[in-house]
Structure 1
Amino acid sequence: MEENQGTVIGKNVAEKTPAEAAKEIQDLLAQLQTNYPTTTEYEKQAFVNKFNDEVKTNSRVRDVILAGGIELIKMLCPPLGIRIEMGKRWLETAQKQK
């Protein structure tokens, strides 16, 4: 797993399909479930805390969750998809001009 040791600026992340993003999240959850079994409330809380730490420290996981979330919004509310894509292109253009 990739660990972010500082601030990452302008990192190009490959676009993932919702299926690819979901698979990567499922793989991470399966790995965490194996390492942190959840039979008691304490174990469930430890699992949630570990997943939260993983999201905070692993930029790849964060990017996958963000990509999956954006795709979900676009599927649930198609008119927002146009605005989301316009915003993404605007940000990409701004990044290139820096």
Structure 2
Amino acid sequence: MEENQGTIIGKNVAEKTPAEAAKEIQDLLAQLQTNYPTTTEYEKQVFVNKFNDEVKTNSRVRDVILAGGIELIKILCPPLGIPIEMGKRWLETAQKQK
């Protein structure tokens, strides 16, 4: 039986250092903060929703987030820390109930 190792064609995702990933996320957050201020709780929620939309629709942003990790996002964008932790706790609770 022959083993197929597969072929990678057109690999567009370059490996990023944590510093490069942080810079790219900071640039995106700065752009979002220009368009969506975070003074009030409502504005913070709008900002988080816009960031979430960007993550869902932009594969480049997803790749950067994976390179930088969730903790990096929490440091760069403190308003996202609460929903991230809520999601983590929800997943932990759901896994314990299995």
Could you state the TM-score of these two structures normalised by the residue count of structure 1?
0.59
Q: Is the 8 A contact 2:48 2:80 kept in 1?
A: no
The aligned length equals 98
**C-alpha distance 75-8 of structure 1, shift in aligned 2 (>3 A):** farther
The structure with more radius of gyration: 2
Q: For structure 2, list consecutive stretches of 5 or more residues without a partner in the other structure.
A: none
Q: Offset at 1:12?
A: 3.4
Query: Equivalent residue of 2:16, what SS?
Result: coil
Please give the per-residue CA displacement for 1:28-71, whole angstroms capped at 9, x wherever unaligned.
00000000001111100000000000000000000000011299
List structure 1 runs of 4+ shifted beyond 4 angstroms.
1-11, 70-98
Q: Is the 8 A contact 1:37 1:47 kept in 2?
A: yes
Cα RMSD, aligned residues only: 13.1
Q: For structure 1, list consecutive stretches of 5 or more residues without a partner in the other structure.
A: none
Q: Is the 8 A contact 2:55 2:62 kept in 1?
A: yes
Q: Is the 8 A contact 1:36 1:47 kept in 2?
A: yes
Higher relative contact order (Cα pairs below 8 Å, separated by 6+ residues): 1
Q: What is the alpha-carbon distance in structure 2 between the residues aligned to residue 38 and residue 79 of structure 1?
A: 9
